[in-house]
Amino acid sequence: MSNRWSKYVLPLLQPFAAVLIGLIAGSIAIWIAGGSIPETYSEMWKGAFGSFYFFTNTLARATPIILIGLGAAFAFRAGFFNLGAEGQMIFGALTAALVGLYMPGPGWLVCVAALLAGITAGGLWSALAGWFDARFGVNLLITTLLMNYTAALFAGYIVAYPLKDRTGSAALAQSQMLDNSVWLSKLFKGMPVHTGFILAVIAAIVIYIFFKRTVAGYEMRMLGGNPLFAVYGGVRRGAMMLSAMFVSGGLAGLAGAAEVLGTQYRYIDGALSTANYAWTGIMAALLAGAHPVGTAVAAIFLAALQTGGMGVERNTEVPLEIGSVIQAVLILFISAKFTYTYLKRRKEKNADGTAA
Amino acid sequence: MLLEMEKITKQYGDLTANRSIDFNLRAGEVHAIVGENGAGKTTLMRILYGMEQPTSGTIRVKGQDAAFTSPADAIRCGIGMVHQHFMLFPSFTAAENIVAGREPGSLMRFDRKKAAAEVEELCHKYGMKIDPWAIVGGSPLGVQQRVEILKVLHQGAEIIILDEPTGVLTPLEVKELLEAVKSLAKQGKSFILISHKLNEVMDTADRITVLRDGVVTGTVNSGETDVEQLSRLMVGRELIQIERKPSMPGVEVLEVEGLTIRGHKGKPLLDQVSLNVRAGEIVGIAGISGNGQSELLQAISGLIKQDAGRIALVGAEVSAESARGIREKGLAHIPEDRYVWGADKSATVQETGLMGHHRRLQRFGFIRQKAASSLVADFVRKFSIKTGTLETRTQYLSGGNLQKLIVARELAQGTPFLIAAEPTRGVDVGAMETIHSELLAKRDAGAGILLVSSELTEILKLSDRILVMFEGRIVGEMAAEEATEEKLSLLMAGGKQQ
């Protein structure tokens, strides 16, 4: 009995404690900003879940965060650090926009093709970093992180020069708007949440089953747990790394594609970076200890902090950043644990004296 | 009586680790505690060293009641402990480690010269040689252990607890350690020696206390007992003498030719090693660890690449194969280090036990859950592995139980060739018996086994043919019948075969 209890409850203790401390820190910030704590939190709740519109708005915002979080969690589980979600998402979004704009054919087919193209673009961009690691031994943390800039600047150039939308206000660097036949349909008429959310939920469940039940999922988890043990047992590290990185980046690419096809309907330079989807997604994965379903829940929670923060700004004197304060405290507490385990792994790896 | 522990009981929830244990120690005595894994030896010592509080019972040191709430209390009463895993700062010198916590010098200045002088004096007094200026991390394990003992002596310990002190040492280092213990005892220090190895205990200890399932099953004078009686007290039954049928070697299952691995410092780790293993025989490799055995086994199993030479498994060339490919060709491997290669500590017992079988137990890429859990449940039953459930994390298994799980897993791969590296490291007498008879059964069923062990008794007991490795080369080969411990020791130390 107590064993079951500890199995399910203990892993939740740390994230809940982090959330609680985050809310307390938020209270202090609200108090300093001169707002009323209960009023601010109640506005925050309303902004996130207060009406059906706000609720679906939160889900819409959560969609890319869930997908990116799942991608990060996928790589973490296999023992790799993919910090390149932003670049992979940008390439996914750009490719989806280009396919959506220039591919002939019926709208639904173009939409599916655009989603697949987004997955492929994000996946390949991520697998390239994996290949650099496997072939040249360049640290994944560094390549994935730096390749974000390459992707963002390249995509910015594409929509600022060759494929710039010259029909509307000429000041913005963005692509033309997609025809509405290729849009991802909304789940409820007039509500922000679109079919991409369903895709994200399905992805969470599929990944959960993948890790729990399949041979490849087992091999990846063992690789993440102890790479030497996995290789000893006949797991092909190189192939597993490339596939894990492809899936991880592919999910980020899907996030970008879904954002373009379901919400923005065009590629706008900087729109994905300023919304901070990528880092929020990585945080969701960390918050949930890379558990796929937990990552989805954490992503919705983090999205709610952001949409709630907007509600706070609309209706009180307290600034929008209150959500960021809570989020920042969360990062602090989660990264403390995460850095600790990462360093421990590094240390053990060094102690073996052998690289996998 | 220097130390008396009376009616010590320790309960963890439902589990009674120690039940009303009486134990005492005279000045200048070596008193050994033996028992199987989980018999309660370590718990008792943790209580004595103040790391655990007993549920009931009393401890008296020199007739005074003592209640230790931390190791610091125990140290103050003159009790020191040398742990199984050394607790040293690897990047510090021997002298710095020994005086740590009681450094000579003023508050702001650490007087290294004085520390070294203190250590030299200590070495001289107790007749243990070390270089006070040597960096501990780069020293052999035997030296590190001497540093640990000197550290305890420097703390002023009268009672020294040695927890499984010989597990990691070479035969020569073991001999030196036991000599040192005896000589320190002559100078009035008292030792509590926790060990698995009955021969060492018989040689060194004055009295021996045997624990089984948390109870004392006997305290005997070493002069009045023998290994058989001790085993009976430990296991609670007679040990069966394993019967070895003569081997009937068949076709070659492993052929290694001219295997060479260059090291970083010009000296090859493996130098032109050639050997073969036939079906139905056990080939033992004797040697002091660090003479190329690890590299040989890793190269055969595809975990590192050789610079030259070829390897063939069951007739097929595997020199360029991946670890996966070699396993598929017919290799199973009990690795020398169970935590580095043999398990994922954060995975469940079932997941650790499934490795290598998972590709077989699948349907459309999905693991067949029922087949997988019944497989691992079989391992647990057959080798009586003590685990909560199959979902327990591997890290909570004791070392001996994890070893049994790995041995069970690899034997069950059903391959024609098996590497068994230190197959019984850290397991108790009963489990050792099981593992040995399973290895022989595997041989009799027609598999070829390459056995690497730093325990000469194990090599002599199981092997049909014995090779000796020294500095990356095979320096001797002999049939089991002509091998003796003396002959092998000589070759292992670099001597010439007569």
Q: Find the CB nearest A215 among B301, B342, B365.
A: B365
| Per-residue confidence (pLDDT) for residue B170, from 0 to 100 | 73
Cβ contacts of B342 on chain A, cutoff 8 Å: 229, 232
* Nearest partner of B400 among B134, B39, B113, judged by Cα: B39
| Alpha carbon distances (Å) from B207 to A278, A296, B187, B192, B234 | 67, 63, 18, 10, 15
A352 CB near a chain B CB, below 8 Å?
A: yes
Q: What is the ipTM of this complex?
A: 0.81
pTM, two decimal places: 0.77
Asked if A229's CB is within 8 angstroms of B355's CB, the reply is yes
Give A1→chain B minimum CA distance, Å.
Answer: 12
Cβ contacts of A352 on chain B, cutoff 8 Å: 340
- Specify the number of domains making up chain A: 1
Give A118→chain B minimum CA distance, Å.
Answer: 26
CATH of domain B3-235: 3.40.50.300
In a domain, A5, yes or no: no
CATH 3.40.50.300 residue ranges of chain B are: 3-235, 253-492
**Cα separation, B71 vs B65, whole angstroms:** 16
Q: Is B208 helix (H, G, I), strand (E, B) or coil?
A: strand
* Domain span at A62: 15-27+35-349
Choose between B345 and A326: higher pLDDT: B345
- Decide: residue B67, CB within 10 A, 0-12 exposed, 13-18 middle, 19+ buried: exposed
Mean residue pLDDT across chain B: 88
In a domain, A150, yes or no: yes
| Per-residue confidence (pLDDT) for residue B446, from 0 to 100 | 92
In a domain, A148, yes or no: yes
| The token pair that represents A103 in the structure block | 């591919």
Q: A108-142 burial, b if ≥16 CB within 10 A, otherwise e?
A: eebbebbbbbbbbbbbbbbbbbbbbbbeeeeebbe
| Per-residue confidence (pLDDT) for residue B241, from 0 to 100 | 65
| Alpha carbon distances (Å) from B226 to B181, B203, B208, B231, B458 | 21, 11, 11, 9, 19
Taking only the tens place, the pLDDT of each residue in B357-386 is 999 999 999 999 999 999 999 999 998 888
Asked if B323's CB is within 8 angstroms of A218's CB, the reply is no
| Per-residue confidence (pLDDT) for residue A4, from 0 to 100 | 58
Rg (CA), chain B: 24
A221 CB near a chain B CB, below 8 Å?
A: yes
Architecture of domain B253-492: 3-Layer(aba) Sandwich (3.40)
The ranges of chain A with pLDDT < 50 are: 1-2, 349-356
Taking only the tens place, the pLDDT of each residue in A208-231 is 999 999 999 999 999 999 999 999
Cβ contacts of A230 on chain B, cutoff 8 Å: 344, 355
B365 CB near a chain A CB, below 8 Å?
A: yes
In a domain, A8, yes or no: no
Taking only the tens place, the pLDDT of each residue in A16-47 is 777 788 888 888 888 888 888 899 889 989 99
| Per-residue confidence (pLDDT) for residue A356, from 0 to 100 | 30
* Nearest partner of A178 among A288, A291, A83, A257, judged by Cα: A257
Q: For residues B327-351, give the mean pLDDT.
A: 92
Q: Is the pLDDT of residue B130 over 60?
A: yes
Contacts of B2 (CB under 8 A, 6+ apart): B25, B26, B27, B29, B61, B62, B158, B159, B190
| Per-residue confidence (pLDDT) for residue A341, from 0 to 100 | 59
Q: The domain that contains A166 carries what CATH number?
A: 1.10.3470
